[in-house]
Structure 1
């Protein structure tokens, strides 16, 4: 049975010098990708609301990215994580029963790292801890079908990563994880029915809570050390029985996908397939009478109508969790990026008409393929003259079976950060992340302040 002791032992075992080079390389890619996505969210209204809240609370220990302001470590963790999460462009684990976003940990790691003046190696170690623990919880302790949101995992991984950076002793790590996992368990209602903007902020809230739990433990606060196995504890009430196998080499990061499109995780293959069909055949969207998608259980459940009608789309929060909207916009615009979530684009008559032609069907065979490591999608587009187009996808560029190269991560980074920093500044951020093992957290945050 998994215990806080097991997690504490793991946190204390992870060492930079023992991490495989391939793992360190992937962790750096995840860091750069997350920073770029975060910079792309600067100025979004819900993000600004979080910034205003955490700056009003005060604090000067950690920087708010590209805001020219500071906050407490927990406040900066919330704001910076909100940045990395809000656009829905973050990375994901593709576990059968859960799809968390381990990049949700990056904002906290950098905030706590800055507060304690961590080295670049220590920053990478903490990132490795978070990705490994989040992956193991996703694969072995899914909570979605039991009514809890995946940030219920994230608050635990946030606490563990923050504990690593704070250099907490064994018992204090147990306290931090116990506080985080007992006090902060988010409900799945965040992503069901009529979705609102909290969907993009929930991870930031988990970041604040996880960071704060570790800070409390650092100051001597005790937590429920029997979090998982105790009477009415986490396993009894939230997850059911489970075991994790935490590897100090932290290879779970190699199972992470990076998004090619600004779209919900499970939409990536389908969006790529629709764009390929539209480009290859120069499809006139006005002639389309049906877009039919066959997909796997999770996609149908979350973004295909299983947890509420996804044809009623009025806001970004609804659009990026609607397969009908994403497929319609991708076919018309041959792209799925920030521009496709502007209010005028969402409300435009062409995309509103086309999304109502989209049908989504769950195929048990595709579910089995997803559970075996693919992200399958079968797409058929029919035109009013009877012409049909068909494509089948096993995965997409950025899937663990077809990962993005460094150059592709950089190509993704530049347009996201271009509204904030000039080319030379962006290049400095890239170089700092690539050489982070010989840098400090301060070197990175100086470029993000």
Structure 2
């Protein structure tokens, strides 16, 4: 890897374009690189994963609303919408937006952790939509996804956002823009302009994941992908963008990241993009900080006897979990049975109590309001607290993303004064976990989540295409998608873009 250092610069010391971070990212995207076989195989797995979680969310309200918006922008030769028949084609900016919303809704796709967290698979649906409309091959799409993963993970490792209360979506826009540049084989100067604008438009505060979390959490990746797609289109037309977006005296480093220098590490021009291999799957529909916590609770289920005897549960964990999903957030909503699903999938106390009670985790049943509101469950739930633990922080701070410990140690105390202590360092599905995921696990997740929604032949067709992505021709990519042929997609509510809805 090549390390590039960047710092805020005074107006009279502005770096040349070729020395700026956005340019280095554009050079990464434009380089003709070899493809790593393991990384290519994982792209297929993540495409399967995206389709599975999107289909499972097909008729949830945010997904139906995004789909209804997209259907207002039909386009001959455009992109597919997840769940709808192949002949329905939509402008790629809106198809990418709606499909990415469907992927994000259940908080059930991949994650990456370094200085910050991210969901690199958020980039896949915008890239697929443009590939379909622009008539690109499977090899083109695969290369684009690998570039997007490389850019997003590099930024997450080099530019900390959370400590400055900036949302990690800020790294998604540049990743999608870079991926689109690779997909379309654009020259470095064009990709550079698009990355500058995408970075500028991707910025938002962490309030999106704080307090009573709203449905915007699902829409945000699609919105950012849409902005990046529009940034590419604009740059292709010769327009310029704010620069230097990272190093300028009013730029991201100076204004939002405390004026600190940054180091971003990128592969040399002749090396493959392999960052996807450092990203993590989800076995449970919940924020990644909760994956190992859910697995820990599942192991304890049935071993504690009468749960009404529990007087307290203390989860010793890393600061990020404590602050984002636990007691350190200061959000009473994380113990509120009337809280939104988006809030609960970011509540470690809820996840531990629910999995401990039920002995399973399900993307719908675990969030069933009738179960969540049961008095005995609420009583147990409110006994669960998190603690910012120095040892867990040290274990999470490992430089290698795959060496980080994401889990927690549970101390469970009972009325008689006894206690049980047990910990889990990483989720079972983690590469270092008890049951590391491979292609069979992604296929099983796909079959489970699409059961009753997608027929066997339709699912088989998609799985075969995704597994053979590298060899798909342009027609194959254009057809790549999944129709919910056993369950109708509901109509979303009408809005501004529906002419019939206007007075």
TM-score, length basis structure 1: 0.94
Task: Name 1:63's counterpart in structure 2.
Answer: 80
How far the C-alpha of 1:442 sits from its partner, in A, is 4.3
Alignment of 1:344 onto 2:370 = yes
Q: 2:343 aligns with which of 296, 310, 318?
A: 318
* CA distance in 2: counterparts of 1:246 and 1:441, whole angstroms: 30
Task: Name 1:407's counterpart in structure 2.
Answer: 440
CA RMSD of aligned residues (A): 1.9
Question: Superposed, which structure 2 residues align to 1:112-131 within 5 Å?
Answer: 112-131=130-149
Task: Name 1:364's counterpart in structure 2.
Answer: 390
Task: Name 2:11's counterpart in structure 1.
Answer: none
Q: List structure 1 runs of 4+ shifted beyond 6 angstroms.
A: none
Superposed CA offset, 1:27-80 (max 9, x none): 222222122111111111011111112222443411111134432111111111
Task: Name 1:271's counterpart in structure 2.
Answer: 294
| Structure 1 unaligned blocks of 5 or more | none
Task: Name 1:229's counterpart in structure 2.
Answer: 247
SS across alignment from 1:201: helix
* CA distance in 1: counterparts of 2:214 and 2:142, whole angstroms: 33
Superposed CA offset, 1:123-179 (max 9, x none): 110110011111111111021111210001111111111222222221110111111
SS across alignment from 1:275: helix
Alignment of 1:215 onto 2:233 = yes
Task: Name 2:411's counterpart in structure 1.
Answer: 380
* CA distance in 2: counterparts of 1:430 and 1:284, whole angstroms: 44
Superposed CA offset, 1:334-369 (max 9, x none): 122212123333333343222111111110110110
Alignment of 1:77 onto 2:108 = no
SS across alignment from 1:67: coil
* CA distance in 2: counterparts of 1:146 and 1:380, whole angstroms: 31
SS across alignment from 2:71: helix
* CA distance in 2: counterparts of 1:195 and 1:6, whole angstroms: 35
Q: 1:296 aligns with which of 275, 298, 318?
A: 318
Q: Which moved more, 1:78-87 or 1:56-65?
A: 56-65
SS across alignment from 1:306: helix
| Structure 2 unaligned blocks of 5 or more | 1-5, 7-19, 399-403, 484-503
Alignment of 1:49 onto 2:75 = no
Question: Superposed, which structure 2 residues align to 1:177-188 within 5 Å?
Answer: 177-188=195-206
Q: Is the 8 A contact 1:296 1:366 kept in 2?
A: yes
SS across alignment from 1:244: strand
* Pair member with larger Rg: 2
Question: Superposed, which structure 2 residues align to 1:325-336 within 5 Å?
Answer: 325-336=350-361
How far the C-alpha of 1:371 sits from its partner, in A, is 1.3
Q: Is the 8 A contact 1:62 1:76 kept in 2?
A: yes
Q: Is the 8 A contact 1:254 1:400 kept in 2?
A: no
Decide whether aligned partners of structure 1 residues 160 and 286 sit closer, same or farther in structure 2, where only a CA change above 3 A counts.
same
* CA distance in 2: counterparts of 1:118 and 1:283, whole angstroms: 58
Q: Is the 8 A contact 1:121 1:436 kept in 2?
A: yes
* CA distance in 1: counterparts of 2:139 and 2:73, whole angstroms: 31
Decide whether aligned partners of structure 1 residues 14 and 100 sit closer, same or farther in structure 2, where only a CA change above 3 A counts.
farther
Q: Which moved more, 1:227-236 or 1:116-125?
A: 227-236
* CA distance in 1: counterparts of 2:218 and 2:372, whole angstroms: 17
Give the count of matched residue pairs.
Answer: 445
Task: Name 1:245's counterpart in structure 2.
Answer: 265
* CA distance in 2: counterparts of 1:441 and 1:258, whole angstroms: 28
Decide whether aligned partners of structure 1 residues 225 and 386 sit closer, same or farther in structure 2, where only a CA change above 3 A counts.
same
Q: Which moved more, 1:204-213 or 1:419-428?
A: 419-428
How far the C-alpha of 1:384 sits from its partner, in A, is 3.9
More helix as a share of residues: 1
Q: 1:153 aligns with which of 163, 166, 171?
A: 171
